[in-house]
Amino acid sequence: MVDLKAQYEKLGSEIDAAIKNVLNSTAFIKGPEVGLFEKELQKYLGVNYVIPCGNGTDALQISMMALGLKPGDEVITTNFTFIATVEVVALLGLKLVLVDPDPFTYNISLEEIKKAISPRTRAIVPVHLFGQCADMEGIMKITGEHGIYVIEDTAQATGAEYIFSDGNRKKAGTIGTIGTTSFFPSKNLGCYGDGGALFTNDEMLAKKMRSIANHGMKIKYHHDDIGVNSRLDTIQAAVLNVKLKYLDRFNSARKAVADFYDEALAGCNSIILPERSGFSSHIFHQYTIRIKNGLRDELKKYLESVKIPSMIYYPEPLHVQNAFRYLGYADNDFPVTSMLCNEVLSLPMHPDMEQEQLDYITLNILKFFEKQ
């Protein structure tokens, strides 16, 4: 699905030197590379503050702690996302309100958000799923009217750009109240272990989040907030400083792969291609198609038999997971999410894919449907 080895072969000497540098300095926590990464990512994103932390899940938790969300406050998010997005809502005792996504872009549906807003809604967490931004202009408009915070989960879309109706462009994660991301190795900007970050333009919030990520202290051994221990290791920051320079190039290479898939699979009636919304660039963290007529699992098995990996992101809606049964939703409450879980299939996607691989994958997919 991803080829981290090919990427390491390309950047290996630069990354080795960066890691060696940290080993020589022994500043493993809060070393200078962390501060440098913060500055570089701020510049790249065009945002005032970047606060690195331990991982993308922590970033989400820290954002909600910094906003002072209290047990019982309602947080709206999509039912079609990775578990991390909702886990922290539950951990903090907040009330999780799930909504269906759009069936073609897979991103949270603005219409469904509107229906779910109540007087107790305090935050909305749009997830920029598979590398494409949710409808941020629409979301900012309704949340602005209601005084609701927006936390953008940018874990799958670091580097994607939202395009406003006036043509203005902003990087994913810099539009809402807070943006969060993950540097898990397989993300578009990944390190060699766990890592994450928060973004904001609000100085007070930035200070609060920085404090919470480091045991609630601004001054050593003086604790103003109840915090957590969540920092980005210096070695991971050193890796990210190298990789950030290549992010746009890697994202363009992913888009070229997606363009090829789009074209090669366009004629097949059993496949619904991923829709590209007019208001976002797409950096294709995943290239995810929908397979009609109940053939998804059979196709997946066939691909396995010819040694082509594929993945189902995500196989089960959150509301039917045992851990979230307590929410009390009925099985058929989210028809779009349930349909997507039965139809989606993600194909191999990374910046180092070769034409030969792409031909082999697409020809085999088409061959499978010819036999039906």
Ligand X SMILES: *Cc1c(COP(=O)(O)O)cnc(C)c1O
Q: By the criterion CB under 6 A, which residues form the site for ligand X?
A: 55-57, 81-82, 84-85, 127, 153, 155-156, 182, 184, 194, 196
Q: Which amino acid is at 210?
A: R
Torsion 52-54-57-63 (CA) sign: negative
Query: Nearest approach, Cβ of 267 to ligand X (angstroms)?
Result: 31
Q: How far is CA 328 from CA 81, 95, 123, in A?
A: 19, 12, 21
* 82 vs 149, beta carbon nearer ligand X: 82
Return the number of the residue (126 or 369) whose C-beta is nearest ligand X: 126
Say how many C-beta atoms besides its own lie within 10 A of residue 261's C-beta.
24
Measured from the CB atom, the residue of 109 and 362 that comes closer to ligand X is 109
Nearer to ligand X, 85 or 214 (CB): 85
Angle at alpha carbon of residue 337, lines to 107 and 183, rounded to 5°: 50
CB of 364 to ligand X, least distance (A): 27
List all residues 6 or more positions away from 127 whose beta carbon is below 8 Å from its beta carbon: 77, 78, 81, 82, 85, 107, 108, 134, 153, 155, 156
Q: Rounded to the nearest whole angstrom, what is the least distance from the CB of residue 167 to ligand X in the complex?
A: 28
Q: 51 or 268, CB closer to ligand X?
A: 51
The residue (of 152 and 271) whose beta carbon lies closer to ligand X is 152
Q: Which is nearer to ligand X, 197 or 289 (CB)?
A: 197
Minimum gap (Å) between residue 248 Cβ and ligand X: 20
| Residue at shortest CB range from ligand X | 56
Q: Least Å distance between CB 323 and ligand X?
A: 16
C-alpha–C-alpha distance, residues 341 and 330, integer Å: 16
Minimum distance from residue 1 beta carbon to ligand X (Å): 14
The token pair at 133 is 């931004």
Rg (CA), the chain: 21
Q: How far is the CB of 320 from ligand X (least distance, A)?
A: 19
Is the CB of residue 233 less than 8 Å from the CB of residue 193? yes
Helix (H) or strand (E) holding 34: helix 32-45
